[in-house]
Structure 1
Amino acid sequence: MQRDDIYLIDMWRLLRREWRWFLAVFAIALLATFAFMRSAKPQWQADAWIRIGQIGTAPAGQDPKIEPLQRVLERLQWIPFQRQVMQSIGIAPDTPEAKLYHKSLKLEPLAYAGPLLKLSVRAHSPEQARQWAEATVVQLQAIHRDVAAPQLKLAHQRLDELQRELQSITAERDRLQQNAEQSKDGVASLLLISKDEELSALRQGRIDLLARLDPAYTYDTALMWPIYVPEQAVFPNPALTLGMGAAMGLFLGVVAAVGRNAWRRRAV
């Protein structure tokens, strides 16, 4: 053993000699902790789970999502986007509320589940926290709808074209069938078979396009579940704050006792 080693028994004796300093510093730390808990404005946290929209008519091999998950994360972290969210609910950019929104906004990608994106934001009341989370989702929805609009417009135009082609070829096929029945011509029968095949291909194409536009494959960016705001404030957390304050008080009390003992020995 080294002579400079500090044993627990020695530390106990030191604290017994300097117990007044230890208790004084410990009490000051606890008082500071209680003062912080009384003065700190409470914060509530709202959690939202966002499902990124997709377009089922995307070409094969292309991501059907309106916007890739990583790009969505970058967009939500973009300060101009966050300012637009705040302005949409009447909060100026340089207010304490806006600063709290920027500071507390947290994102957790859940790529294995859809993908989903968990968004968390804090405010000074449960209602405000919910409002901020909803405003963020609404702003993202508006952007994604603008992004998806051209592709959806093309898909519906193609659906209308298929419908018109079906009507035209159906009418032509009916005319050929009538001619084939009247003339008993083999050429007319061959043309009729060709039109039947063309009709079958058009019907299948229309069915496939309708399936891709079905809500199961084409949907907007939206909340997966309702926004969750717990009843209790998440900050300051009484148990955690008291625990940290007590631990800091014990540490500072020991430091003060050791320092006082060293000063006393140096004076002697």
Structure 2
Amino acid sequence: MQRDEIYLVDLWRILVRQWRGFAVAALAVLALAVAYAMLAKPRWEAQAWVQVGQVATQPAGQDPRPEPFQRVIERLQTVAFQNEVLQSAGIPLKSPEGGLYRSSLKVEPSFYAGLIKISVRAASPALARRLAQATVDQLHAIHQRLLAEPLAQARGRLGEVQAALREATATRDGLRAAAGNRESMSGQGPALAAGLLLAGKETEVRELRQAKDDLTARLSASYTFDTSMPWPIYQPDHPVAPNRVLILGLGVLGGLGLGLFVAVAGDARRRAKQPKAG
């Protein structure tokens, strides 16, 4: 404990002797921090949550999405996809805005919820929002092309089931009428045969109606949908960078550290120049 107290006293004496060097170094670092905090261009952020589309009529065991979830995440991080987004937004690929978009694009998946959070930054709030929207729109266009074929197949299958149901229903109604006429005009033999045919057609109608209802439900908006945003784009009402408080805090700490180093180095140099006793 005594050594620590002596060390602090010695350090205080060094600072008193070398206060000019300490002050110059500390103020220089603090001035640089203040200048950077004041002159750095503000950066605005926009955040979008993306729900990957699907066609829910796929057989059991097959992914209803247009591509696996992890592949969607990797696609968002490719240079080719980002270039397509910039071109759709009318931003030159080699411009500062394009470089900031690539460097700031952040993809955060939520596997449990099946959502992807996209964050982008730009020099203005309007541009940040436009780039976030362009990112979602580009992904939507790609997935729409991939989902076109399975969606057309599902709708075609629904049309076939509906046509078969209409035909089976008409046949069943005809058998009902024929069975009633035979039952009133003749014995039980023809009526029994007609009843068996009618029972089989009733079963077919129920199965077709169930298949139609199932396909209709799976093609509804609750189960089949395009890639889209479940919520509007979120944008903070203030720039997210630079963080001036953090920069000034680091400037103060850096200035104190450099000032102490300069003071100790100056005192050591002063001692080295002093003639040795004896």
Q: Distance in 1 between matches of 2:261 and 2:230?
A: 52
Deviations 1:183-217 (A, max 9, x none): 23221110110000000000000001111111111
Mapped contact 1:43–1:125 kept (Cα < 8 A): yes
SS in 2 for 1:203: helix
Mapped contact 1:52–1:67 kept (Cα < 8 A): no
Q: Distance in 2 between matches of 1:20 and 1:248?
A: 17
Deviations 1:40-95 (A, max 9, x none): 21111111111122221121122333332211110000001000000001111111
**What number of residue pairs does the alignment pair up?**
267
What's the TM-score, normalizing by structure 1?
0.94
Q: Output aligned runs, 1:254-265, within 5 Å.
A: 254-265=260-271
Q: Distance in 1 between matches of 2:266 and 2:231?
A: 58
Unpaired segments ≥5 residues, structure 2: 184-189
What is the match of residue 187 of structure 2?
none
What's the TM-score, normalizing by structure 2?
0.91
What is the match of residue 83 of structure 1?
83
What is the match of residue 42 of structure 2?
42
RMSD: 1.9
SS in 2 for 1:50: strand
What is the match of residue 204 of structure 1?
210
Deviation at 1:222, TM superposition (A): 1.1
AA paired with 1:212?
R
Unpaired segments ≥5 residues, structure 1: none
Q: Distance in 2 between matches of 1:56 and 1:7?
A: 74
What is the match of residue 236 of structure 1?
242
- Percent identity of paired positions between Structure 1 and Structure 2: 49
Identify the match of residue 227 of structure 1 among 229, 233, 242: 233
What is the match of residue 148 of structure 1?
147
SS in 2 for 1:107: strand
Q: Distance in 1 between matches of 2:81 and 2:220?
A: 31
Alpha-carbon distance change, 14 to 117 in structure 1, aligned in 2, over 3 angstroms:
same
What is the match of residue 13 of structure 1?
13
Deviation at 1:244, TM superposition (A): 1.4
AA paired with 2:66?
I
Which runs of structure 1 show a deviation greater than 6 angstroms over 4 or more consecutive aligned residues? 3-6
Deviation at 1:178, TM superposition (A): 1.8
What is the match of residue 30 of structure 2?
30
SS in 1 for 2:177: helix
Q: Output aligned runs, 1:161-176, within 5 Å.
A: 161-176=160-175
AA paired with 1:204?
Q
